[in-house]
């Protein structure tokens, strides 16, 4: 036997041995039912092909029917327990930092920056998470953020005429809002240039799983450096300014600098980037999809229009929206909840088990991933009647008895609950208010937005807008 064939032979023997060992080890544990697929690639190809089709549910539906609400699969190089069980999802979310921890691929960490809130663990995460929550709580929104949210949304809508790419416009609005909230800059050439670089960074997030071969990823890393440089300059300027004159700006950067912690420039920049990243695709997608769902549900649109026209009729032309106006948007909140339920922008979250975990009579082995699927719960007819149709009225008379908290989790929960949950709701409500009272619209082309979009909605959703007669320019 040549040395080459014997090498080959030993490799094959070792591989077979490893597979057997894996089988043996897993059989001793009581894993949830399911299939690990082929060695190494597992069921990744099935998952990807399902998500490339217009309706990604087959992957999930088929396995849920076959194995039940918790099953084992093997995707992106790792054995993974998929959960569509509300109680198990709650358990996973609540035990973040104890039995589970979040884990992102290295390619993502490089783009986020090592001081990003999304990557922090333990006590540091706890502290920074509550600081972030305090930047966007309802008091801050009411006293500071609402005015700018309303003003910047109007500024954008007033420039629309005829055909607009709704998704693109929503992204522009979202970015401008975040920059304003972070560092008080109004949109101008500087913010628009920053956004151009920033968009390249975002594209880098979607180049998994082979970043090193991807020009998009390399371009994203370069763009990240540029964005970080620009933000670093802002931070330095502000440090100088806040030393010389006492009246600091009331934005998130100001709050960070005044928090009493000695953050480095790099830490602050990573922190700001995390907020820009986390709110961007999410908020803009929800704005676009709300309009899409409403377009397809004329009864809901009519009821919403009535609610908002009534709010407008009570205030002077061009008057800014007040907190009490927001609080009177009752049906709007049903629309917001239903849009978040149907759209599932964050379809679920990955965590890694830090120890062997026994739950529901199963074992999740240490080091395995768990995917707590929000989408699977939100679209389960046992939890929501006629779950795959848009029905905002289901939220009327809502009480915790009808929809238990662990069943509806568009913003996650536990120690990593989305700090932007309230802000996102306010932004969407204000956007709907202005959009509906200023315009009437129709989809521009045959509407090709996928029914259950994945996070990255490639479709830009073109619409034709027309100013409603009774509305006059606001600014």
Ligand X SMILES: *[C@@H]1O[C@H](CO)[C@@H](O)[C@H](O)[C@H]1NC(C)=O
Residues belonging to the binding site for heme are 418
State how far the Cα of 359 lies from the Cα of 87, in Å rounded to an integer.
Answer: 10
Q: Are residues 347 and 414 in contact, defined by beta-carbon separation less than 8 angstroms?
A: no
State how far the Cα of 82 lies from the Cα of 60, in Å rounded to an integer.
Answer: 9
Task: Give whichever of 300 and 346 is closer to ligand HEM, judged by the CB atom.
Answer: 346
- Per-residue contact flags (x/-) with ligand X for residues 383 to 402, judged by CB under 6 A: ----------x-xxxx----
- Identified binder of ligand HEM from the candidate list 31, 70, 117, 291, rule CB under 6 A: 117
Task: Give whichever of 32 and 413 is closer to ligand HEM, judged by the CB atom.
Answer: 413
Task: Give whichever of 142 and 467 is closer to ligand X, judged by the CB atom.
Answer: 142
Q: Interface with ligand HEM includes 129 (CB under 6 A)?
A: yes
| 439-443: strand order across its sheet | 162-165, 462-467, 439-443
Q: Are residues 294 and 428 in contact, defined by beta-carbon separation less than 8 angstroms?
A: no
If contact means CB under 5 to 8 A according to the sort of partner, which of ligand X, ligand HEM, none does residue 393 touch? ligand X
State how far the Cα of 290 lies from the Cα of 474, in Å rounded to an integer.
Answer: 23
The DSSP code sequence of 386-451 is TTTS--GGGGTT--TTTS-TTT--TT--GGG--TTHHHHHHHHHHHHHHHHHHEEEEESSS----S
Task: Give whichever of 285 and 332 is closer to ligand X, judged by the CB atom.
Answer: 332
- Identified binder of ligand X from the candidate list 280, 371, 390, 408, rule CB under 6 A: 408
Q: Interface with ligand HEM includes 423 (CB under 6 A)?
A: yes
Q: Interface with ligand HEM includes 349 (CB under 6 A)?
A: yes
| Closest by CA position to 414, among listed 463, 379, 372 | 372
Q: Which helix (H) or strand (E) holds 123?
A: helix 122-135
Contacts with ligand HEM in 285-314 (CB under 6 A)? 286
How do strand 78-83 and strand 369-373 relate by DSSP bridges? parallel
Q: Interface with ligand HEM includes 79 (CB under 6 A)?
A: no
Q: Interface with ligand X includes 65 (CB under 6 A)?
A: no
Which residue stretch of 272-280, 302-310, 316-324, 451-459 sits at the interface with ligand HEM (rule: CB under 6 A)? 272-280
Can you give the binding site for ligand HEM, defined by CB under 6 A? 102, 117-118, 129, 132, 136, 274-275, 278-279, 282-283, 286, 345-346, 349, 410-412, 416, 418-420, 423-424
Can you give the binding site for ligand X, defined by CB under 6 A? 333-334, 337, 393, 395-398, 408
């Amino acid at each position: 036997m040549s040395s080459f064939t014997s090498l080959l032979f030993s490799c094959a023997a070792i591989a077979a041995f490893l597979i057997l060992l894996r089988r043996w080890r897993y059989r001793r544990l009581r894993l949830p039912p399911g299939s690990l697929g082929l060695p190494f690639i597992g069921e990744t190809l099935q998952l990807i092909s399902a998500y490339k089709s217009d309706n990604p549910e087959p992957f999930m539906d088929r396995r849920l029917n076959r194995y039940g609400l918790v099953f084992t699969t093997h995707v992106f190089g790792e054995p993974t327990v998929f959960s569509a069980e509300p109680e198990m999802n709650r358990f996973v979310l609540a035990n973040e930092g104890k039995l589970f921890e979040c884990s992102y691929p290295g390619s993502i960490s490089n783009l986020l920056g090592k001081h990003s809130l999304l990557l922090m663990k333990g006590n540091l995460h706890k502290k920074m998470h509550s600081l972030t929550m305090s930047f966007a709580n309802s008091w801050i929104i009411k006293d500071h953020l609402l005015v700018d949210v309303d003003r910047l949304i109007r500024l954008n809508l007033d420039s629309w005429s005829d055909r607009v790419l709704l998704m693109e416009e929503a992204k522009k609005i979202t970015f401008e809002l975040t920059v304003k909230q972070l560092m008080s800059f109004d949109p101008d050439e500087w913010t628009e240039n920053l956004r151009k670089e920033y968009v390249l960074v975002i594209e880098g997030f979607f180049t998994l799983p082979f970043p090193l071969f991807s020009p998009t990823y390399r371009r994203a890393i370069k763009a990240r450096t540029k964005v970080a440089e620009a933000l670093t300059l802002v931070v330095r300027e502000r440090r100088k300014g806040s030393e010389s004159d006492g009246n600091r700006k009331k934005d998130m950067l100001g709050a960070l600098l005044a928090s009493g912690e000695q953050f480095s420039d790099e830490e602050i920049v990573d922190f700001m980037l995390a907020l820009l990243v986390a709110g961007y695709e999410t908020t803009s997608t929800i704005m676009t999809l709300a309009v899409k769902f409403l377009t397809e549900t004329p009864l809901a649109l009519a009821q919403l229009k009535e609610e908002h026209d009534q709010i407008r009729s009570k205030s002077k032309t061009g008057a800014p929206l007040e907190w009490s106006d927001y609080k009177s948007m009752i049906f709007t909140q049903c629309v917001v909840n239903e849009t978040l339920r149907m759209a599932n922008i964050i379809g679920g979250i990955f965590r890694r088990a830090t120890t062997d975990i026994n739950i529901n009579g199963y074992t999740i082995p240490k080091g395995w991933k768990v995917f707590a699927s929000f989408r699977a719960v939100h679209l389960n007819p046992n939890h929501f009647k006629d779950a795959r149709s848009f029905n905002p009225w289901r939220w009327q008379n809502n009480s915790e008895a009808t929809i238990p908290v662990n069943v509806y989790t568009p913003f996650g929960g536990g120690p990593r609950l989305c700090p932007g949950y309230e802000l996102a709701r306010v932004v969407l409500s204000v956007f709907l208010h202005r959009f509906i009272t200023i315009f009437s619209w129709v989809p521009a082309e045959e509407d090709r937005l996928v029914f259950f979009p994945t996070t990255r909605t490639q479709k830009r959703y073109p619409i034709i807008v027309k100013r409603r007669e009774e509305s006059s320019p606001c600014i």
